Structure 1
Amino acid sequence: MKAPQAASPHPTWAYAGKDIVGTGLGSSRLWFTVARGIVTEVYYPRIDIPQIRDLGFIIADDQGFWVELSRLGCYEVSLPAPGVPAVTIIHRHPRFTFTLQICPSQQRDTLLLRYRLEGDKNLRPYALLAARLGGDAENNRAFVGKHNGRTTLWAEQGPFGLALVAANETGASDAWGRCSAGCLEASDGWQDFNRNGRMTWQHDSAGPGAVCLLGELPAHQTTLALGLGTSKESAATLAVASLMEDFSTTWDKQCRAWKEWMKGCQFPDLPAPLREILALSGMVLKTHQDRTYAGATVASLAIPWGESSQSRGGYHLVWCRDLVETAGAMVAMGALEDARDVLRYLIATQQEDGHWLQNQWLGGTPFWQGIQLDEAAFPVLLASALREQGALDGIPITDMVRRALTFIAREGPATGQDRWEEDPGVNTFTVAIAIAALVEGSTFLDGEARQFALLLADNWNARLDDWTVVTDTPLARRLGVSGYYIRTAPADVLVHDGAKSEHILIKNRAIDPDLPANEQIGTDFLQLVRYGLRQPDDPVIVDSLKVVDQLLKTETPNGPVWHRYNGDGYGEHNDGSAFDGSGRGRGWPLLSGERGHYALLAGEDPLPYLKSMAAMTGSAGLLPEQVWDWVAMPEHHLETGKPSGSAMPLVWAHAEFIKLCYSRATGYPVDRPVATWNRYQGRRPEISHTIWGPRYRPRRIEAGSQFTIALRAPARVHWGTNGWQHIQDIDTRDTGIGVHVVDLPLTELDAGESVQFTFYWPDRKEWEGRDYTMQII
């Protein structure tokens, strides 16, 4: 009998705060997550395709008592060794103890679960599986049937199928009792228990739609195999074959594989608890790598606020920035082949104009459409870091570097979005990455291309404070500082200074607080110190830290944590309800890691920051995107100083923890770009050269300065002085990185004089149609 279907189902994802994540290290193409003590999203055959929402258990008798394990909330998670993702979970209830072990097969696309129910003899377990094949709930179909004589719970949709098989301890006999297929919110097994207090429905099929499967199991120890394949039959074949191997053997193979991988990581000296988090962090990075697209690493195997989200994206996407931050941690750990794979993947997904997509599915299909300048720069830094290790291994990178620098030179220093994927303008973190890319990238080039990349980097570094520092503002006077770096200066600051007081929209807020740019501050300027563009004791850096600590720092029982910027709206509401397009931003542990890197450069031991990050982890040591920094709300599972409902783990946060551990051992940031550090040594460069364009268009030039006009295409510059006197024409020359330049001989002009210019575009056979004037000061 087919199950009735809900008229308007609301399929969501599982809780984002994962207890643990894992995968095998063999040929299997399956990744699993665990949250609230049960299996949640499982991904196959790529790490960006979730196939189920969750696989949990109901414990019940025939007298109306029943409890769903994921709602019980009393469980412990343990691993056989730090960083080995073979999971034991013990759920405790006054009437029973339920022990669940979870382990992937090394060879097959199968996840194995072994449980043991102890306590009240009247209780029985029921497996409850919610399918989301292909990451979609619209067209799933569920079945209860037989495969080679074994009862099998099946689901299929398009090119995907799953099968859940249960067997006794030897794997020889079928362990299922009654089974049923149902549709979400109408005929699923949870609804059956909720309405009837016991299992009363037995439907043999359901769908299409959001489907769920329910199966009765024996009370004694039993093993289940969840197989995934290109059809329900192929999935069942894999599942049954996995049950032919003793669960303990599969478990031992998983442990041996991961322990062997860990041997290649030389961990620095740390207190034992931090060393365990470091090993776990290495496992998190390795787990989030794909196998079809070597080098592709997703941001997280979690969907933020998943229990209230129907998004198909989640964080199982590739962000270029997160990917390079992760690769930097791999380099620090000595996992150089993994880092090389990242570089190869990045080269393969670079866009024709030199940038990378805001984020993408593994094969390179875009998800969001924003443009972020730092994401065009980060891959250049990875190439440079590998070369410093002597580990490029023949990867051809010159073309990639040239195209990336072309994009940076043509589009910078402003960005379409900052690193938080929100506002356009001139952002200190973004420009720091771009400057470093220009310097590091120049070492792969020669001639005019190298010279112009360095000239541009020096100019941006020298003028960065002019664009992003404000003084004598009401906020500065209120906090007792002279000046500070603002979060982002509007792009108009490249044309006129008054732009710093313009309004910048703060996103993810129900009501925009309407703060001008010069009152919005963030932690992004710390990258200037980390990369050697400014000294840690630079007065503006020190004052900016004072502002940040007064406005963005929150003390929690587990240590201090910092917000991204004032007015941030990306996080739970104050009543504990999930982020729903608006909310209130919370503290980010990865920012504690960035602050720890600053402390290291300022001569302090960053150990307190590592300890704080470790204290903010989940029950098994995973680092979250955000921690709850408001009053505790147990009804929403929110504890002050512990993970919120945002993504956990956040791979970027684990990468930052790893890098801070190794940076502490070396005495300097392990990801600092060497050529950039050597060039600036923390000092703002003194320059006697002004570059006009392509986007920076100043109106004044100091007397005696050299002057270069930079354009995006070949042009004839038509120019004169002091009101179009002494008119001349000069053709631009190609720098080799997408910018065409001409030097105007203005060094003899005195203060008070001026220069006028316009352009003729030979390719288009037309004039610019606008005159420009520069005042000599």
Structure 2
Amino acid sequence: MMPTFTLVGDEHAAPGGAGLPPTWSSSDKDSVTTSLGPARVWATLGHGMLNEVYWPSTGQPQLRDLGLYLVGEGGRWVDLRRERHYELSTPAPHLPLPTVVHRPSPGFDGPDYELSLEVIPDPLRDALLLRYALRGPYRVVMIVSPHLDASTPENVAWVDGALFAHQHRHVLCVAADVPFTHASAGVVGTSDGWQDLHAHGELTWAYTRAGPGNVALSAELGAAHGTVALGFSNTARGAWTLARSSLAEGPDAARTACVQAWSTWAQPLRIPAPDATLGHLAQFSAAVLRMHEDRTYPGAVVASLSTPWGNHTDALGGYHLVWPRDATLAAFALIAADQIEDARRILARFIATQQADGHWPQNNYPSGDPYWTGLQLDETAFPVLLAAKLRELGSAEVSGTTDMVRRALGFVARTGPTSDQDRWEENPGVNPFTVAVAVAALVAGATWLTGEERDDALRLADEWNERLDSWCYVTGTPLAQELGVSGYYVRLAPPQQEGGVTGQVLLRNRMGETVPASALVSLDFSYLPRLGLRAATDERVRDTVRVVDHLLREDTPSGPLYHRYNGDGYGEYDDGRPYDGSGRGRLWPLLSGERGHLALQAGEDPLPYLEVIARCASPGGLLPEQVWNGPALPEWGLQPGRPSGSAMPLVWAHAEFLKLLIARHSGRPAELLASVEERYATPRPAAEWRWRNETPFTVLPAGRALTVESPVPFTLHVGWDGWQDVQDVEAAPGSFGVWLVRLGRDALTGRGSVQFTRRFESGWEGTDHHVSVQGTTSAAQPGQLRTH
């Protein structure tokens, strides 16, 4: 029957008001899929069923789930999602076309059955096909839970020749090539199809309209085998046209086109395979990275097509957002696998979404609209590393790269080395990971600069690299004494006004708990060797590895895994309750990849770390953000060494696994750039030190120049050896928008100390600063001050 394409009247409206509060699907997913054609639909599977479907971009989930139920005689019905006894397969690791086969679990009390479900994205249309086939004395019932336009739960559902749902300019049509022998629209929790099955053992209600609110659509499929189509459009007629035309052309045509496109994409892949398991997971990981790229906004790679603990929340953002860090690391993995064009699209989007001052937001929608707007310095530096990697490989330069690099390095130079947030998005201060990425970007990006800017970028990189240990390396602590090491790199040093490395760090998600910065460790230091700033055999690195292995490593049935840092609160509670702003941090498989890179660079075989990561994968090959490390809690679906309720898949985890596997073969990390490696392969000359509010110092090593900097103009009131020979010097504009006064080596010769304060447009700063100058013995002589 041809629909009228208008909302039907209220004469047969479902009761229930707005319904239960909506949620997303569980992040315990089996698989993800999409086509590589012009269509803009992404689908995920979980517990053997279709759940979240994204359209028209990876940042916009429109469906909570579509469940299939088997209805038999005498009011008996089977909830396949709760039975959870099924097998999942794909034609090949790089062909994401999942088929799920459901069969009774051992001890099932009832007639035998077999239901196969094949998920096929239409490459030409914004439509998704589900081909099903049932064997056994049952009928198939379908219950669809739309969640259109995630900004509001006010969906309307109706039945009119097909199943429709609508919110604003988002419309879903569900049609089939078999008749619907019974169909109804309902309100979740009151008049939905599940309530009908629970009350009557079959579908009996026939409401033609439900909502606005949290709605669901149900239908009994009139044959044991057939195909269901989901069409998405801005109008009901458009959604119907897409669904029906996809059914008319048929699932075989869509499947053939998908196979051809994915096979073509996979041809350049060059991935080693130490064994079948690791080789298959690597091929699939490359496909997972590609599947997370948007087609409405090419180059936008979201962190995950999932929402952590999604079945307990209606959070708008989830992980289907673009984090510059995650996207860049995915690009490096794709480059390592010889998918250069994919990485170029990611860089092109960076050029388009850079903010006027040079930074990128903490994360953003695929469209480029910011979501969280925090500042993370590494996320501004990472795109520079991507541009440098492409240049190093001889790839033609993406238009606009020079301007992008210059503005990004300007932001890094003005605001670093401190960052408002570390890479875990929790704390301000100086972090080894962040500084490593920033230093590498300043060096690698300097090739796009000229003259004084280029020299300043390199001088700044040398200074930060040299001073990093004074900021983030501690010695003589109780932990160092306990483990018999000289010292170790801490997770981060708080801002100087909070005590720096001698201060306290607030543990986010732990109800205001704090810990001394000197006692907080993480694998963040691992990027010092990864990017070529330290040797993996450096005593400081090796000692920190010992500390990390002692504090953060934990054995599980999947093997040894690592925590983000001691005291982490981002994860489920010990009793299995989902993270709700507090909790206890679990184990992260991607960190085994970081530990494996350290092993590789120290001359060890990282194969054991790759094997551990692989054992954490879901049956469908998805790598989770976190793995459960407590006792088994079946009621929460938690098993030790297996995925927790956090995000799955996590693009970052798949990228880290893929990079480590390829690095094992090539002998070097994907992120290691020749320009950075060469600059720090041997000791550098003494760096010029820069005094900033964020990184002050009280002792200047011998033979150094001293530069006083500020982001705004100032007058330096300076004296020597107890305010002798006082002078006032106007700051001059330097590179990257900073203002500075440079006290050259000649000016410091023979001086024992420098005293200074500054006058800004608003007045004197009200603080005197004192810097001792080491290694000066000659008589004090007035020196020449320079402002540039």
Pairwise same-fold verdict (TM > 0.5): yes
Match of 2:405, SS? helix
Distance 1:738 1:588, change over 3 A: same
Correspondence 1:570 to 2:587: no
In the TM superposition, what are the counterparts of 1:238-387 in structure 2 within 5 Å?
238-387=242-391
CA distance in 2, matches of 1:564, 1:732: 42
Q: Secondary structure at the match of 2:149?
A: helix
Cα deviation, residue 642, structure 1: 1.6
The answer to whether the 8 Å contact 1:274/1:614 transfers is yes
Please give the alpha-carbon distance, in whole angstroms, between the structure 2 residues aligned to 1:67 and 1:584: 36
Q: Is the 8 A contact 1:689 1:705 kept in 2?
A: yes
Matched AA of 2:115 = F
Larger mean CA deviation between 307-316 and 687-696 belongs to 687-696
Offset, 1:471: 1.5
Q: 1:462 touches 1:684 (CA, 8 Å); kept in 2?
A: no
2:94 pairs with one of 70, 77, 83: 83
- Which position in structure 2 is the counterpart of 1:131? 146
More moved, 311-320 vs 607-616: 607-616
Partner of 2:78: 67
- Residue type at the aligned position of 2:200: N
Say whether the 8 Å CA contact 1:719–1:729 is kept in structure 2.
yes
SS at match of 2:448: coil
Tell me the number of residue pairs that the alignment of Structure 1 and Structure 2 aligns: 757
Per the alignment, residue 723 of structure 1 pairs with: 722
The structural deviation recorded for 1:571 is 1.0
2:478 matched to which residue of 1? Answer: 474
Query: Residue 753 of structure 2 aligns with which residue?
Result: 754
Post-superposition shift, 1:747? 4.6
**Cα distance in structure 2, aligned partners of 1:165 and 1:551:** 55
Q: CA deviation at 1:381?
A: 0.5
Q: How far off is 1:500 after superposition?
A: 2.1
Structure 1 residue 116 and structure 2 residue 133: aligned?
A: yes
Q: Are residue 499 (structure 1) and residue 524 (structure 2) matched?
A: no
Give the deviation of 1:776 after TM superposition.
2.3
Alignment of 1:485-634 (within 5 A): 485-492=489-496, 499-509=500-510, 511-634=511-634
Q: What is the Cα deviation at residue 82 of structure 1?
A: 1.1
The residue number in structure 1 matching 2:739 is: 740
> Is the 2:18–2:187 Cα contact (8 Å) retained in structure 1?
no
**CA displacement at 1:731 relative to structure 2:** 3.7
| Contact 2:431–2:472 under 8 Å retained in 1 | yes
Percent of aligned positions that are identical: 47
SS in 2 for 1:14: coil
Please name the residue that 2:52 is paired with. 41
1:172 paired residue number: none
3-state SS of the aligned residue for 2:624?
coil
Task: Name 2:3's counterpart in structure 1.
Answer: none
Contact residue 131 and residue 137 of structure 1 kept, 8 A: no
Conserved? CA contact 2:18–2:211, under 8 Å: no
Deviation track 1:24-50 (CA, whole Å, cap 9, x = no partner) reads 111111111111111111111111111
Q: Give the aligned residue type for 1:374.
A: D
Question: Quick one: structure 1 residues 690 and 279, their matched pair in 2 at CA, closer, same or farther if it must change by over 3 Å?
Answer: same
C-alpha offsets along residues 120-165 of structure 1, whole Å, 9 cap, x if unaligned?
Answer: x2x211011001111245221000112xxxxx01111100101111
**1:30 touches 1:109 (CA, 8 Å); kept in 2?**
yes
SS in 1 for 2:160: strand
Return 543-552 or 135-144, whichever deviates more.
Answer: 135-144
| Aligned residue identity for 2:77 | W
Determine the C-alpha separation between the residues in 1 that align with 2:637 and 2:333: 31
1:404 positional shift: 1.2
Instruction: Report the Cα distance in structure 2 between the residues aligned to 1:364 and 1:253, rounded to whole angstroms.
Output: 30
Cross-structure match for 2:448: 444
Question: Are 1:774 and 2:771 an aligned pair?
Answer: yes
Q: Is the contact made by 1:724 and 1:756 (CA closer than 8 Å) also made in structure 2?
A: yes
Partners of 2:151 and 2:359 lie apart in 1 by: 30
Mapped contact 1:320–1:375 kept (Cα < 8 A): yes
1:128 alignment partner, SS class:
strand
1:135 aligned counterpart, secondary structure: coil
Matched, 1:453 2:453: no
AA aligned opposite 1:409: A
Say whether 1:705 aligns with 2:704: yes
Aligned residue number for residue 29 of structure 1? 40
Q: Does the C-alpha gap of structure 1 residues 403 and 504 become closer, same or farther in structure 2, counting only changes over 3 Å?
A: same
Q: Is the 8 A contact 2:459 2:687 kept in 1?
A: no
Deviates more, 1:524-533 or 1:64-73: 64-73
Q: Is the 1:710–1:739 contact (alpha carbons within 8 Å) kept by the matching residues of 2? A: yes
Which amino acid counterpart does residue 72 of structure 2 have in structure 1?
A: D
Q: Distance in 2 between matches of 1:394 and 1:636?
A: 48
Separation in structure 2 between the aligned mates of residue 717 and residue 326 of structure 1, nearest angstrom: 46
The whole-number CA distance in structure 1 between the counterparts of 2:685 and 2:83 is 64
Q: Which moved more, 1:748-757 or 1:570-579?
A: 748-757
Write the distance in 2 (CA, Å) between the matches of 1:68 and 1:372: 45
Indicate conservation of the 8 Å contact 2:18/2:214, yes or no: no
For the residue of structure 2 that corresponds to 1:443, the secondary structure is helix
Task: State the AA in 2 paired with 1:204.
Answer: T
Q: Does 1:52 align with 2:63?
A: yes
Equivalent position amino acid for 1:557 in 2: P
Question: The residue matched to 1:85 in structure 2 has which SS?
Answer: coil
In the alignment, does 2:413 pair up with 1:401?
A: no
Which residue of 97, 100, 111 maps to 2:114? Answer: 97
Name stretches of at least 5 consecutive residues in structure 1 with no aligned partner: 147-151, 169-174
1:164 corresponds in structure 2 to: 174
Preserved contact between residue 19 and residue 622 of structure 1 (Cα < 8 Å): yes
Shift of 1:719: 2.0
Q: CA deviation at 1:219?
A: 4.6
Return the TM-score normalized by structure 2. Answer: 0.93
Report the 3-state secondary structure (helix = DSSP H, G, I; strand = E; otherwise coil) of the residue aligned with 1:178. strand
Could you state the TM-score of these two structures normalised by the residue count of structure 1? 0.94
2: distance between equivalents of 1:692 and 1:474? 31
Residues 657, 703 of structure 1: CA spacing in aligned structure 2 closer, same or farther, 3 A cutoff?
closer
Structure 1 residue 184 displacement after superposition = 1.2
Task: Give the direction of change, closer, same or farther, for the CA distance of 1:8–1:110 in structure 2 (3 Å limit).
Answer: closer
The alignment partner of 1:45 has SS state of coil
Aligned equivalents of 2:652, 2:736: Cα separation in 1: 31
How many Å separate the matches in 2 of 1:276 and 1:499? 46
Per-residue CA distance 1:447-468 (angstroms, 9 max, x = gap): 1111111111111111111111
User: Counterpart of 1:651 in structure 2: which amino acid?
Assistant: V
Read off the aligned partner of 1:22 and give its amino acid letter.
T
In structure 2, do the counterparts of structure 1 residues 465 and 774 end up closer, same or farther at CA, with 3 Å as the change threshold?
same
Tell me the SS of whatever aligns to 1:525.
Answer: helix
The superposition leaves residues 470-500 of structure 1 with CA deviations (integer Å, 9 ceiling, x where unpaired) of 11212222233221111111111xx79x532
Measured in 2, the distance between the counterparts of 1:103 and 1:97 equals 20
Q: Which residue of 1 aligns with 2:783?
A: none
Over 3 Å counting, the alpha-carbon distance change for 1:224 and 1:697 in structure 2 is: same
Partner of 2:640: 640
Amino acid at match of 2:123: Q
CA distance in 2 between partners of 1:199 and 1:751 (Å): 93
Query: Is contact 1:719–1:758 with CA below 8 Å preserved after alignment?
Result: yes
For the Cα contact (< 8 Å) 1:269–1:665, is it kept in 2?
Answer: no
Equivalent-residue separation in structure 2 for 1:342 and 1:745 (angstroms): 43
Q: For 2:593, what is the secondary structure of its paired residue?
A: helix
* TM-aligned CA distance change 1:27 to 1:404, over 3 Å: same
* Aligned position for 1:149: none
Separation in 1 of the partners of 2:151 and 2:414? 40
Relative to structure 1, the CA distance from residue 749 to residue 258 in structure 2 (aligned partners, 3 Å threshold; closer, same or farther) is closer
Aligned to 2:233: 229
Structure-1 residue corresponding to 2:5: none
Tell me the secondary structure at the aligned position of residue 582 of structure 1: coil
Q: Which runs of 5+ in 2 are unaligned?
A: 1-11, 775-788
Q: CA deviation digits over 1:600-643, x for unaligned, max 9? A: 11111212211111111001111111111222222222222121
